[in-house]
Amino acid sequence: MSRLAYLGPEGTFTEEALRLMEPNAERLPCATVSAALNACRSGEADGAVVPLENSLEGAITTTLDEFAWGEPLLISAELLLPVRFSLLARPDTSLWHIKRVYTHPAAITQCRAFLARELPDAVVVAAPSTAAAAQEVSLPGSPYDAAIAARIAGEHYGLVEVVADIGDRSDTETRFVRVSRPGPLPEPTGSDRTTLVVFLADDHPGALLEMLTEFSMRGVNLSRIESRPTGEGIGRYFFHFDFEGHVADARVGEAISGLHRVCGEVRFLGSYPRADGVAPQIKRGTADTEFAEASDWLARVRAGQV
C-alpha cells in the first residue's frame, strides 16, 4: 500500500482528489504544498498529491515553483476535480456577525464576487489550506468568524454551513497531480500529457517563438504555457509547458530534443495519462497548414491589410 503526502489537514480539496486517485493509499497530511513534496523527496512518503491549477484563476504558483526549483520530482497522474466552496462558521453565527474570514488564497480568488457582495467590510486572511482555516475557526477564541472550505471540512471540524456554493462560478475545476521521486515512467496509453520546465539560455528576440516552433513544427498540441519570474529582475522569466503525448512518442521526444538545442535548461516533469473530462482541445490544423496560415497572415500584416 502506498503512503501519499498531501496538503492537509483532513478535509482539504487535495484530500478529496487523493481519495479519488488512490482510494487505498495511506494518507499523510502536511501543512503546506512544500512540506508534502519534501515528504515525498525524503522518502517519508512514496508520493504526494498537490493542486497545480484551477480553471478560474490559473496556476497554484507554489506548486509550479517547487517543480521548477526544488529537488526533481515526476508527475505520474492528474485529476480534474470540480470544487464547491461553503462559508462555514461556529453554530449560531449569522452572516452579519462575520467580520474576519479565513481561507486558502485560491478560495479567496474564486469567491471574490460573493465576498464583495455579501461581506464587503470583512477582512479576508490567507490560510495554509481551506481545511486548516476550518480547523482554526472551530477553536474557541479563534480570531476568525468564518472559513471558506469544502462542506465536508465543516463536518470534520463541527462548523455549520452559513451559505453553500459561494464560488463565482459553479463549474470551476481544479487540477491535481500525483508526484513521485524520479523513476520509471507510466507506460504510454495513447492519451497522455507531458510537462516540462524550460529556462532560456539568453534573452534574445524570438526566443519564445523558437521554443513554440519546436512543438508546432511536429504537430504537438500545447495545453498550457505559463511564465514565472526567475527572480533575477523584471523581464526575466522561465516557462512551464504541458502538451499532449508521451515522451516515448517520436514527435514528443524530438520536440524535447529540439528544446534542448534552443534553450538553456529543460527539466522533464513527467509523461502521464491525461485526465478524463479535459476540455475538448481546439481543433488544430497540421503543422503545414498552420505554417501556411501564419505566413499568409504575416504577408497581410506587411501589406498593411490588417
In sequence order, what are the residues at sequence separation of 6 or more whose Cβ sits closer than 8 angstroms to the Cβ of residue 108? 115, 124, 126, 148
Interacting residue with ligand PPY among 29, 51, 245, 258 (CB under 6 A): 51
CB of 32 to ligand PPY, least distance (A): 10
Q: Quick check: 87 binds ligand PPY (CB under 6 A)?
A: no
4 binds ligand PPY (CB under 6 A): no
Strand partners, 161: 88
Contacts of 46 (CB under 8 A, 6+ apart): 2, 3, 4, 40, 180
For residues 169-197, one letter each, b for 16 or more C-beta atoms within 10 angstroms of the residue's C-beta and e for the rest, the string is eeebbbbbbbbbbeeebeeeeeebbbbbb
CB of 130 to ligand PPY, least distance (A): 4
Q: Should residue 130 be labelled a site residue for ligand PPY when binding is judged by CB under 6 A?
A: yes
Per CB under 6 A, the segment of 11-19, 183-191, 195-203, 240-248 that binds ligand PPY is 11-19
Does 157 bind ligand PPY (CB under 6 A)? Our answer is no
104 vs 178 by CB, closer to ligand PPY? 104
Is residue 129 a contact point for ligand PPY (CB under 6 A)? Answer: yes
- Binding residues for ligand PPY, how many (CB under 6 A)? 14
**Residue among 241, 195, 226 at smallest CA distance from 59:** 226
Binding mask 168-207 for ligand PPY (x = CB under 6 A): ------x---------------------------------
**Interaction of residue 14 with ligand PPY, rule CB under 6 A:** yes
* Least distance from ligand PPY to the Cβ atom of residue 62, Å: 10
- Please identify which residue in 4, 7, 48, 146 interacts with ligand PPY, judged by CB under 6 A: 7
Q: C-beta of 147: minimal distance to ligand PPY in Å?
A: 10
CB-nearer residue toward ligand PPY: 83 or 88: 83
Q: Show contacts with ligand PPY in window 100-119 (CB under 6 A).
A: 104, 106-107
Q: Which stretch binds ligand PPY (CB under 6 A): 8-16, 70-78, 195-203, 237-245?
A: 8-16
Residue 79 makes contact with ligand PPY by CB under 6 A: no
Is 167 a residue that touches ligand PPY (CB under 6 A)?
no
Q: Among residues 16 and 192, whose Cβ is nearest to ligand PPY?
A: 16
Set of cell numbers at residue 248: 516515448
Residue 52 binding ligand PPY, by CB under 6 A: no
The distance of closest approach from Cβ of residue 70 to ligand PPY in the complex, given in angstroms and rounded to an integer, is 18
Is the CB of residue 124 less than 8 Å from the CB of residue 101?
Answer: yes
Q: Which of 4, 13, 157, 178 binds ligand PPY (CB under 6 A)?
A: 13
Chain residues binding ligand PPY by CB under 6 A are 7, 12-14, 51, 54, 83, 104, 106-107, 129-131, 174
